[in-house]
Chains A and B, each alone.
Chain A
């Protein structure tokens, strides 16, 4: 039985090799499609894992304020009011905003911190800003402006005056995914830079002692201050779970396009086999091949192509994403972003998803090889040859 199987497999491969240029082209295109799909899958799996891991330490609640349906600055006395809610710990007005740098054409995120903050951060070369006119920058900012530790970074403030900041801290490139576009200042310096009206902040971060109470606290904040918009950490995490979920976001778009391409291929194959192939099936049947032998032959033909393409495509995807940091995908993903982090991904592999992808590509391809041959395979050889 096994011997017979191997014989038919041998004939299948010989048959494919006879039309080798066409079949090699199919393998190349098929493998390329798999490698793109696989790259997206692996990239999104890894990003999702990393995002949901590191953002676990995001603030418990961030409170924004809305005016006339738009995000507005939040008065600092709101922080005092929130601090009185039972269960609430530290409440911090946050100063941060965006800055468009004309020189590099990039958008930076400017963040303010309390100058007494002296954490031990291994991913920071140097220190966080503690003195006036100092800053810490992300690797992307440094690259875009050609500045490093000890250099001066000149930014134009809200009064259109150039202000020089000494770079005392540089975030290492391993943290680019978090810090690429950041410029960190002392709160006071940033307030002055943005010309914040006194008594206002961008938003407020709220610490809740009992993590099970976060939703309750957020509801209370909303109820007491209807003009606010509290955002909890679980909502932050869910956002990233959705962006990198393979059923939505970037995965869905690419997957959908690939699926359509696949359906076109399968339809083209399924609408009929060539006269030459039909004849060949007739000859095989005439010399003693059963229907099941012929169908097995077609099965092997489909499997050889699809499994080879799938494995090669997947290997390419792995190497592309984890060795080369998805460098082919990055230019497409970045869109208009001038600053885009170099991916130094934390490999995270969901074997189930890869298996599903394999199933959804290999099985339809085999079906589109076997099914068109069905009619010829079940017909009496004389009729096939005559037609």
Chain B
């Protein structure tokens, strides 16, 4: 999959309601319409609880909207079966979670291999790709160390390597600098900038000015109470 092609994301009036019709009902995303072009780097900015993580999940096909459309490269994902949706997720997206969501008892390389198991690739090819991804992030030396033995910054890099192992055209990151010091944050942003330069679409949910004021960001979209306030170029 060529990361440079215009993989476009479109949301139309997308809504996400948790626990609908229950006392603890929460409207996380309320009618958001957004367009993200191929190769663009967009920051979704808003305070905690503004719905940016939920919006990111919808864009990244990690959950389905309650209403509205999410279109990825021309396909309305809300209508897709689970199997096809997973395929879309695997093919188009590399997700970097705020809490990394690594499996602590696995080694760095084993975590990076996870997205590759269901692809039917040969073991040698899988090992090769995972090794490359880790090397690109300077983690080759620690490939066999258990994740629980790695520092926060190292875990972050493993999480990024995992997100990139399938060479996805769209990289999605949720609060990537939340657990990092300034130096590491800047290193990470530089890496994401590299990805942007290679043609990948980058979408970051953040409330860290270090991120949304970085030169890598093409456009900032403000989210508050599940709605887009305004979108502007950075």
Residues of chain A at the chain B interface (Cβ within 8 Å): 1, 3-4, 7-8, 10-11, 14, 18, 279-280, 282-293, 378, 380-383, 385
Contact = CB atoms under 8 A, between A and B. Distances in A.
Contacts of B86: 285, 288-291
A288 B118 contact: yes
Contacts of A383: 63
Contacts of A293: 117-118
Interface string B17-60: 00000000000000000000000000000000000000001000
Interface stretch (B95-103, B200-208, B210-218, B226-234): B95-103
Given A283-B114, A287-B114, A288-B118, 10 more contacts: A7-B117, A7-B123, A10-B117, A10-B123, A14-B110, A285-B86, A287-B90, A290-B83, A293-B118, A382-B57
Contacts of A382: 57, 62-63
A194 B149 CA distance: 84
Interface string B98-139: 000111011000100011111111110010000000000000
Interface in B172-207: none
Interface string B134-175: 000000000000000000000000000010001000000000
B69 interface: no
B100 to A, nearest CB: 10
5 contacts: A10-B123, A287-B115, A288-B115, A380-B62, A385-B97
Contact of B83 (A18, A291, A380): A291
Interface residues of B, number: 31
A374 to B, nearest CB: 13
A274 B116 CA distance: 25
Contact of A380 (B64, B102, B105): B64
Given A290-B86, A381-B63, A18 B105 contact: yes
Nearest to A18: B105
Interface in B75-102: 82-83, 86-87, 89-90, 95, 97, 101-102
Contact of A290 (B63, B114, B118): B118
Contacts of A283: 101-103, 114
A381 B114 contact: no
Contacts of A4: 117-120
Nearest to A12: B117
Contacts of A291: 82-83, 86
Contacts of A285: 86
A286 B62 contact: yes
B95 A286 contact: yes
Contacts of B120: 1, 3-4, 7
A8 B117 contact: yes
A380 B97 CA distance: 15
B82 A288 contact: no
A285 B115 CA distance: 9
A200 B123 CA distance: 86
A288 B89 contact: yes
B127 to A, nearest CB: 12
Contacts of A282: 101
Nearest to B163: A287
A262 to B, nearest CB: 29
Nearest to B84: A290
Nearest to B115: A287
A4 B114 CA distance: 13
B3 to A, nearest CB: 17
A286 B110 contact: no
Contact of B82 (A7, A10, A290): A290
B166 A288 contact: yes
B97 A286 contact: yes
B164 to A, nearest CB: 12
Nearest to A294: B118
A100 to B, nearest CB: 65
Contacts of A381: 62-63
Contacts of A292: 83
Nearest to A6: B123
- Per CB-CB distance, the 9 closest pairs between chain A and chain B, nearest first, are A288-B90, A4-B120, A382-B63, A287-B115, A382-B62, A290-B86, A382-B57, A380-B63, A7-B117
B186 to A, nearest CB: 27
B159 to A, nearest CB: 10
B101 A286 contact: yes
